[in-house]
Amino acid sequence: MPDLLDLDRPALLEFVESLGQPSYRGKQIWRQMYQRGVIDPSAMTDLPAELRGNLADAGSTPTDPVEVQTSADGSTSKALLRLSDGELIETVLIRSKPRDTVCLSSQAGCAMGCVFCATGLQGLRRQLTAGEIMRQAILARSWSRDEGRELTHVVFMGMGEPLANYANVSEAIARLTDPDGFAMSPRRITVSTVGIPQNVRRLANDHPHVNLAVSLHAPDPALRRELVPVAGASVDEILDAVRDHSRQTSGRVTFEYVLLRGVNDSRGHARRLANRIRGLRAHVNLIPLNPSPGVVGERPSRRATLGFQQTLQESGVPTTIRVEQGRDISAACGQLRGDRIRSKK
C-alpha cells in the first residue's frame, strides 16, 4: 500500500475509492493529516473501524526523530530524521516571538557544492518526496502546539536545493497553502535557491505569492563560480530571472550573502553587489560564515560585516545582518548535514 503522505489529494481520493469507500472519506483523511497532524490511520477516529483497519498498512512512516537537540537559549531545536530507506535529514524549528518558523529540507544532501556549506560536502543522495517534506512540517507544527504556540512560517532553507526538486517542493507548497490542508498564507512561505533560472520563473507562475530568496554570495561571475561551483547559471542569468520573477509577482526578493573573511567581504564587493541589483525591489540578508568541519573559509570580522552593511545601505539597498540562532547545535545556515556517524552513536 502507498504511504498516505506521498499521495496528492486526487490520488488519495482515488485510493480510498479503490477500497470501496466514498470519496469524502479521503477528504476526512486529508484533513486529519494536514489540519490535525494525525498520520496514523488507527488514530483517525472519525473513520469507520473497518477502514482504519484497511489503512493500517498505508500509514505514514513514523516521525519520531533519531535525535533532537535544543540550543542553550531554547530558541532553536533541530531534529535528525530517518527516512523509510534509512537516509537521514535535519529539520529545524526556530522560535522567535511572535513567530515559530520551520526550516525544511528538500533533498538528502545537496549537489550544488557551495564551499562554505556542510550539506554540500555530502553530495546529492536523493530527492525528498512531497510527503517527506510535509512530514517535517507536520512534526514542527506538533512541537509548536505542544508548547502552546503555533507554527507561523515555513522556509525552504534546510538541506538541499529546493528548485532542483521543483515538482515535489511545488506540491508541498500547494499542500501548505491548501485551505483544507495546512491553510498557511503563501506570504509566510519562503523558497531559498542558489538560482536555477527556469525554475525561478516557474515559481513565479505557479506560486506568485510565495517569497523568493536567492543565495548570491558574490557580485562577480568568477568569484561566484569558486563559491558555488556546481550552479550552472551565471550571475547575469540569475538576475535576469529574478527581474522576470519580480515583474510577474510585484514582490520583493531577498538576496542572501554569506560573508567569508578576505574573500567576498570588502566594501568593494558591497559596491559591486549594489550595482548588480540596482533597480530591483530587493533586500540583502548578510550571513557571517557559520563554521563547520570541512567547509572552506573563515568568519569575517564584525568590523568588516558592519562595513559591508553600511556600504550597501549608503547605496540605497536595505540590508540586515541575520540574527544567529542555533549555532551551538549546528543548526544555523550552512551547518545541516544529516550526520550518519552521530546517529549511530
**Annotated catalytic sites, by residue?**
90, 333
Q: How far apart are CA 175 and CA 155, in angstroms?
A: 14
Strand partners, 192: 213
Neighbouring C-beta atoms of residue 123, cutoff 10 Å: 12
Reported as type and span, the H/E element at residue 15 is helix 9-18
Q: How far apart are CA 340 and CA 39, in angstroms?
A: 26
**CB within 8 Å of 225: residues ≥ 6 apart:** none
- Where do we find the cell 500500500? 1
Closest CA to 215 of 163, 174, 291, 169: 163
Q: Output the nine-digit C-alpha cell for 277.
A: 541589483
Q: Output the nine-digit C-alpha cell for 18.
A: 479503490
Neighbouring C-beta atoms of residue 72, cutoff 10 Å: 9
Find the distance separating the first CA and the last CA of the chain, reported in whole Å. Answer: 33
Please, are residues 195 and 215 in contact by the beta-carbon 8 Å criterion? yes
Q: Output the nine-digit C-alpha cell for 98.
A: 511572535
Closest CA to 123 of 115, 107, 106, 111: 111
Strand partners, 88: 82
